[in-house]
Every structure is written in C-alpha cells, then in structure tokens.
Amino acid sequence: MCGICGIYNASSKETASRAIIERMTRLMTHRGPDDNGLHLDGPLGLGFARLSIIDLDGSHQPMCNETGEIWLVFNGEIWNYQALRRELEKKGHRFRTKGDSETILHAYEEYGTDCVAHLHGMFGFAIWDSCRQRLFLARDRAGKKPLYYTCVDGNFIFASEIKALLGHPHVRREPDVQALADFLSIRYVPAPATLFANIYKIRPGHWLLYEHGTIRETCYWDYTFSRTEQRSIEEYIQNIKQHIYRAVEERMIADVPVGALLSGGVDSSIISGVMSRLSRHKVETFAVGFDHPDYSELPYARLVADHFGTNHHELLVQSSDLTRYWPQLTWHRDEPVSEPSDLGIYLVSKLARQYVKVVLSGEGGDELFAGYPKYIVDWMARYYQLLPMTIRNSMIMPLLEHLPYSMRKLKQAARNLSEPAPERWMSWFGIFNGHFKESLLANEVKQCIDLDASRQFKSWLAANPQCDDLSAMLYLDTKIWLPDNLLMKGDKMTMAASLELRVPLLDHQLIEYAATIPSQSKIRPFQAKYLLKQTFADFLPAPILTRKKMGFNVPTGIWFREGQRGIITRLLLSERLRQRGYFNNRFIASMVRDHLEGRTNYQAQLFTLASLELWFRVFIDSPDLTIPNGSVEDLLNEEKSLEARISQL
C-alpha cells in the first residue's frame, strides 16, 4: 500500500515542479514510510511514497518499462500477478523485478487500457505514456483504494489523498455546497464528488484517460443480478465456501507479517477462522472495545480467538480518546469523520501495526449476503403496505413511538414503509432528511442546492431496472455505501497507522457469484445473512451465529452528555460556525439544548455537525496543511488565544 501523486500540464513548456511533487508526496508519508520516489518528464511529474509489502528490496517507484517510455505509480496489490506474469512472459515480455507492480506496466504494453480487465486486486494507479502524451488512471472494481483528481489552470493533478492535491499551490480549499448538503443527509459524499469544490474521485470500476487536455472516464466493470435457475442450498454453500477460501488465501500473500481485525461479528470471525485454517502459524488478531459495556464486542472477539487459537490483542477506547484524536482523524480522512467508529479503527490499527504490516477484515459480508436488519424490515414492507392506512396510523405508529432510542433505525424505517423505493431506503442511513434538513440549512443555501439526496441512488438503480427490492438495496450498498464510506474509512484509518487493509469478501468474483443467488436464498423471515451463516454453521462458535448484530457502535450519546458536552457546545455554538452562513444557528442551538437536557437524543446529528465544523477548521480555516497535534480542546484554546491576540492589535 502506498501513496501516489502526479501533475501534468499539456499546454506548458515548463518542467513540472520538483518542489511541488515533493510536497504532495510528503503529505502522504504515513501511506508509505519505507521509500519514496519522483520522476519528472517535461510538464509531467510523478511522486510515490511506499509501504513495502511484496518484493521488499525491489519494485521501487515510479517504475518504467524497458525503453523508459511508460511510467507507473501504483497503490495496492495485484493478487493474480504471478499467473499474469507467466502469461505475459509467454508473449515475450521480460521482467526485472519480483513484485506485482511491474506486471501492470507490461499488461498496459500488451493490452492498453484493457489491461484493467486482466488485473485481480485492489488498486489505484497512474500510467504516463510518453509516446501518446497521455495519463491513464484506474481504480479497482470495488473501490478499495482511493484516487482523486482535479483540473486547475491547465494542470491535471491526481493523488491517493485529497490533502496531497491541496499541496499544489493552485488548488483552492473551498467547500462544495451541494456535497455539503448531501453529507448532512447520508454522512458521506457519493462519487464522483467530494466535499471540496472541483476535486473528484474516480469511481470504482472505472478508468480515466487525460489526453490533449480532455478527460474521458469509462466504466470497465459492473455486475448485474441475473435471473438464474434456483440451485440447492448445498450447492450455494459449497461455492461460497470455495470463493471465500480462495479469496482469503490470495490476500495472505505477503513478504511481511499478516493479521486480522476481529470484531466478533460473523464476517470478521469467518475471515479470522479461515486464515487460521490456511496458516502454518498462529494468526495475530486485533480487537477494540469501548468503556461502556453495552457498546463493547470484546467478549465475542475473545470467544472467536479462543476457538481458533489465535494470538489475540485488544484495547479499550475511553471517552477522552474521541476529542484527543478527532482533529487527527479528520486530517487523515480528508473529509469529515462520518461516524465515530473511525476512532476505534484508527486505534486498533495503531495496535496492529506493532505486530504486523497487513490485516484482513470482514467488510462486504453484509452487503453481499444481506446482513443488515434493514434488509429484513424492507422485505416486510410488502406486507405492511397491505394494511389499511387507518390501522397503520392509529395502532402501529403510536406503538413505534414508545420504542427506545436503541431501536431508532427500526422506528425510522417503519415511518417510511409506505414510501416508494429508494425514498424509504434513505430512512435507514439518513441523518438530516426532509423537514429536518430544511430547518437546519440557511435559506441562501437551500436556494442553490438540490435537497433530495436520493437522486444519487436513483441514477444507480437505472443500471439494474429489473432487480427485486432486496437485490437493488444490495447493489446500492455495494456501489455507493461501501466505497464512499466503509472502504474509504478503512483505507484512511489503517493507512494513518501505515497498515495495509485487505478485504477478501469483496473479491470481485465473489461479488459476481453472490449476485447470481436469488434473494429468497440469502435471507429468511427475521433471519438476516441466512445463507452465509449456513455456510459456516459448523465452523463458527454457536453464539457468534445467534448473537444480535451490533455493528461498530460508539457510545457518543453518553460521552456527549457526560465528559464531552463542553466540547460539543463550544464547536456548535461558536461564532465561527455562525459566520459560515450555511446553517440556521437557532435550530442548532435548540438541538444542542434538547440533547444535553435529555429531551431528545440527537447524538448522530450532533456528531455529524461537529465533524463538519472540525473539517472546516482543519482544512478550510487552517493556514497550512500540517496534521493537528492536539485534541479538540487544544484546537479550540489555540484559536481563542489567537483571536484574543488579534483583537489587541
């Protein structure tokens, strides 16, 4: 895993700036502390920061072909590089290194832009073709590795992280107001947009060509939910197991120690268990818990670790850790911290990095095999909609209002069961929706944006118009929720600790196979992830299969009412936030008051707003791009001291 960056100005006769490339690369040192490199070719400049995983002494980048005409910077891993290498050698290609990076160069020589179809892996790379005077960029199918770009003053600029783009002196640090509104609704920004104006993500499964001053982005991979003949459960189980064992084995390939992140949930337990079966040594596993017993999964993680005999390591996160690390998390994330679970991933990654350089995790199991409770609730919508409206309004809705906050998602979903898809699906992860969002935003902002964040989902659904509702939800989550939130979070938080993250369950062949399985085989009434659990029923400890799904929840509601309430008040009721002009500040003040007095639990909303305000202070207000050293309180105190000094001038 690495950090890559580059600049190209097709209309300039000046040599690309070495100082700018070096600065962009330094801003990603955490992604690659082992090595760095730079290549200049007239108006083209490439930068590289390396975390050495395979071919530790070779594979220095930027890397060129034999003639020096084609140059590569590459972040990620190619799982089939050895087989692809043999194929290319038969065609006459000669290799100088033992790693996977050079395979991409020769594949491009042989297949051109179609080379991505031959690559099985996780990647974000850029190729400079000096003969054609063009840049070719590509991102892996599932979006495991990030890749951003911008065009400004004739410069095409790309990087693995946004902060590296901001290291170019011509790139402005300005918020995108439409993206800001979308973030408030769903807590992330769907590709290709980012929260920065004029900075974009390359979509998963896409490549981009920059040639003659123009950009062309093309989709090279997608999948559909084909209507295949129903097979037996036994056949599905056998094939799923084969795919997962193959995917895990491929992702254990490394010249450095490999471990696993273990939450104690079904997916991470499967990964840890399969690794234990395939490894000749004890697997190192890592878990994180929180200082409130209702939010800690450590007992389940220990159960799995004991069951498979792993070398298990764990840590406990305290409430003070949130405000201590929040500014740094924001800097590493490039965008606001979408959920407080970033904290746990970051800290457990720092723990893991003391023992290993690579970890496997279980992301993707819920999205491929219908593991979230929302899938069950939505499946029930067809029956709910058969009830007369009078019964829904007079009996069911009043009962739902008395459910505790811990069942808030059920309440949200039930309120929207009468709505058409995808509007009702928005209710599951929406933070500020409908009238709530209108009350929050300033009038000037509402006049220049589209308040309906569901437009993002409708455009994706058009690609699979024949899907049943469950398949459509799984498709949306795989194409948007995973790459733009979960995988982005996983990449940025593990890379902050110089740790490589691999996700076997998002192997593209497994994704394609899961899409051929009919919905009725994936779930049962009140049984999410039915098929995947059946596949490993004799493999995992029984309590793991029957436990209630927790997700990676963090007790922010408790923290905000207790030790951290002053921080939230100072952030959200600050003069600086008021002067930004994006929000109805009276509405924010009423939310803070109602939450602190216990009348309403606004923990998700307050965390989202506080994260956004911190992002403004770290990236928009700050005079430079250095990582914040202190806590939120330190940041606020420094600003207060600075404002006092300015007022005395």
* Distant-in-sequence contacts of 276-280, Cβ < 8 A, 24+ apart: 276/308, 276/309, 276/310, 277/245, 278/245, 278/248, 278/249, 278/252, 279/252
Beta-ladder partners of 46: 6, 39
Beta-ladder partners of 260: 285, 360
The response to whether 261 counts as a known ligand-binding position is yes
d(CA 258, CA 352): 10
In one-letter notation, the amino acid at residue 251 is R
The response to whether 320 counts as a known ligand-binding position is no
Q: In what order do the strands lie in the sheet with 500-502?
A: 311-317, 284-290, 258-261, 358-360, 500-502
Q: Which of 2, 5, 115, 467 is catalytic?
A: 2
Query: Is 2 noted as a catalytic residue in this protein?
Result: yes
The response to whether 289 counts as a known ligand-binding position is no
Of 536, 216, 164, nearest to 369 (Cα)? 536
331 phi/psi in degrees, rounded to 5: -60, -45
Cis geometry, peptide bond prior to residue 190 (ω within 30 degrees of 0) = no
d(CA 467, CA 470): 8
Percentage helix, strand, coil, to 5, in the chain?
50, 15, 35
**What is 543-606 written as a DSSP string?**
HHHHSPP--S---HHHHHHTTTHHHHHHHHT-HHHHHH-SB-HHHHHHHHHHHHTTSS--HHHH
> Is the Cβ–Cβ distance between 626 and 606 less than 8 Å?
no
d(CA 329, CA 342): 7
The response to whether 100 counts as a known ligand-binding position is yes
Of 159, 88, 96, nearest to 126 (Cα)? 159
**Residue positions forming the annotated binding site for L-glutamine:** 100
**Residue positions forming the annotated binding site for ATP:** 261, 288, 361-362
Q: Would you name the residues annotated as active-site residues? A: 2
